[in-house]
Structure 1
Amino acid sequence: MHEKTASLSIKNWADDDRPREKLLSKGRLALSDAELIAILIGSGSKKESAVELSKRILALVDNSLNDLGRLSVKQLTQFKGIGEAKAITIAAALEIGRRRRDEESKRITKIVSSLDAFELLQPLIGELEHEEFWILYLNNSNKVVYKGQLSKGGITGTLVDVRLVMKQALELGAVALILAHNHPSNSLKPSKADKELTVKLKRASGILDIKVLDHLIITHKAYFSFADEGVL
């Protein structure tokens, strides 16, 4: 039997099960993640609808759109019912979402909370498969005057050039710093090296009357703030 006759086309669904019609009548916020993905893939199979297929896929990535967005086209096609065309559509849609978030993060210029710093840095390092250490340099109004990568590939005191950090801070006229690095393992627990490096940079900046306001550990969907947790 050809795929067109075997698949459960959206046109054949009951009215209450049609995500396209639901979006038009109730708005996009009324749709679940599975329903939105079902619109992308268009049809399921003879045994399951597109919504059921989408629910199954999401369940296998712990219902995380971030985790789904990190999968390659080849990995997506490993899901039963997802061919290359559907995989490409899913990958493209989630990449658009990631770029939209990246674009919105660039509008953040003033840091008033750890969440602001997370929203600014997560699109840059939250989904990387290796560690990177970044610093936000702030002026006396807590506005970001510069953000930059300090090291890549693992965080230890030997990889972070404290002199370079201080030199850049003085050249930029920065009065405060926010430290940040990602954990590809998704663990939010600071390591001994994380703590030692924080103390090292805090001591060095203190001599120059520059404050270390926070150190964030960032994963693809969450963060740990040294300041918020009272361990700075």
Structure 2
Amino acid sequence: MNYKENSLSIKAWAEDDRPREKLLLKGKSSLSDAELIAILLGSGSRNESAVDLAKRILVSVNNNLNQLGKVTVNDLIKFKGIGEAKAISIITALELGRRRRLAEAMVQSKITSSKAVFELMQPIIGELAHEEFWIVFLNNSNKVLQKQQLSKGGLTGTLVDVRLVFKKAIELNSTAIILCHNHPSGKLQPSNADKLITTKLSNAGKSLDIKVLDHIIITENAYFSFADESLL
């Protein structure tokens, strides 16, 4: 047999095993991550199906789609059966997913818990390789009025302009703010600098009757809330 006859393409599979047909018959939620990636791949190699290839790719990132979203074309083409075109397809699909989450996060929403803040801000700063500090401005119903980046880079050595924060709050008629920043290291424990800036902004807000409701430290998969831990 020639290569074409031996190829483990999706078209050669039994109908029940085909991810595209499964999606049409049972819906997109019925497919595993590997099956969804297999649809992007279209085919595997001589000795490996697209689903098995997809499983190998996922294993390389500990089955973490967020981590897969960080791989490069060069990382993917190291897998046998992955060329540049397939690698670009995977990266494009994951980037679209990230942008969808970002678009959802930018929609005005009401904050009811620290988890709601995490869900709002994680798509924006949770996967960054550098640290960013943001302010979430709220009205008296805890609805988000605006989100604004205050600084970029580590808090250590960064001068936080308290006047700028509360000038914006007054312009927006905001009655409360939430502080947010990410820890690219993945560590959730607040640093001394994190505690100092929280105290500084909280004290400044009291004189203006603008409350600092919380300070959320965000990582890729988790968060730390100053309010939940009674540090505010």
TM-score, normalised on structure 1? Answer: 0.91
Is the CA contact 1:108–1:116 (under 8 Å) kept in the aligned structure 2?
A: no
- Residue by residue over 1:63-98, the C-alpha shift from the partner in whole angstroms, topping out at 9 and shown as x without a partner, is 111111122222222333321111000011111111
Is the CA contact 2:112–2:142 (under 8 Å) kept in the aligned structure 1?
A: yes
Match of 2:150, SS? strand
Is the CA contact 2:183–2:219 (under 8 Å) kept in the aligned structure 1?
A: yes
1:167 aligns with 2:163: no
1:200 corresponds to = 200
1:228 aligns with 2:228: yes
- Residue by residue over 1:153-201, the C-alpha shift from the partner in whole angstroms, topping out at 9 and shown as x without a partner, is 1113743112221222222221101100111122222222212221221
2:118 corresponds to = 118
Give structure 1 stretches of 5+ with no counterpart.
Answer: none
Q: Identity rate of aligned residues, in percent? A: 67
1:78 corresponds to = 78
Match of 2:141, SS? coil
1:109 corresponds to = 109
* CA pair 212-2 structure 1, distance change in 2 beyond 3 A: farther
Is the CA contact 1:180–1:216 (under 8 Å) kept in the aligned structure 2?
A: yes
* TM alignment of 1:32-71, pairs within 5 A: 32-71=32-71
- Measure, in 1, the Cα distance between the counterparts of 2:34 and 2:28: 12
Code of the residue aligned with 1:183 in structure 2: it is H
Q: Which runs of 4+ in 1 moved over 6 A?
A: none
Is the CA contact 1:102–1:123 (under 8 Å) kept in the aligned structure 2?
A: yes
Match of 2:103, SS? helix
1:131 corresponds to = 131
Match of 1:203, SS? helix
- Measure, in 1, the Cα distance between the counterparts of 2:199 and 2:193: 10
Is the CA contact 2:45–2:80 (under 8 Å) kept in the aligned structure 1?
A: no
1:31 aligns with 2:31: yes
Code of the residue aligned with 1:32 in structure 2: it is S
1:97 aligns with 2:97: yes
Structure 1 residue 116: Cα displacement: 2.3
Q: Which moved more, 1:204-213 or 1:154-163?
A: 154-163
* CA pair 215-4 structure 1, distance change in 2 beyond 3 A: farther
Is the CA contact 1:108–1:120 (under 8 Å) kept in the aligned structure 2?
A: no
Is the CA contact 2:108–2:145 (under 8 Å) kept in the aligned structure 1?
A: no
Is the CA contact 1:131–1:184 (under 8 Å) kept in the aligned structure 2?
A: yes
Give structure 2 stretches of 5+ with no counterpart.
Answer: none
- Measure, in 2, the Cα distance between the counterparts of 1:34 and 1:127: 22
- Residue by residue over 1:92-139, the C-alpha shift from the partner in whole angstroms, topping out at 9 and shown as x without a partner, is 111111111122222233212222222222222122111110001111
- Measure, in 1, the Cα distance between the counterparts of 2:158 and 2:6: 60
Structure 1 residue 6: Cα displacement: 5.0
Q: Which moved more, 1:204-213 or 1:59-68?
A: 204-213
Is the CA contact 1:157–1:197 (under 8 Å) kept in the aligned structure 2?
A: no
Size of the aligned set, in residue pairs, is: 232
1:10 corresponds to = 10
Structure 1 residue 148: Cα displacement: 0.6
Match of 1:130, SS? coil
Match of 2:44, SS? coil
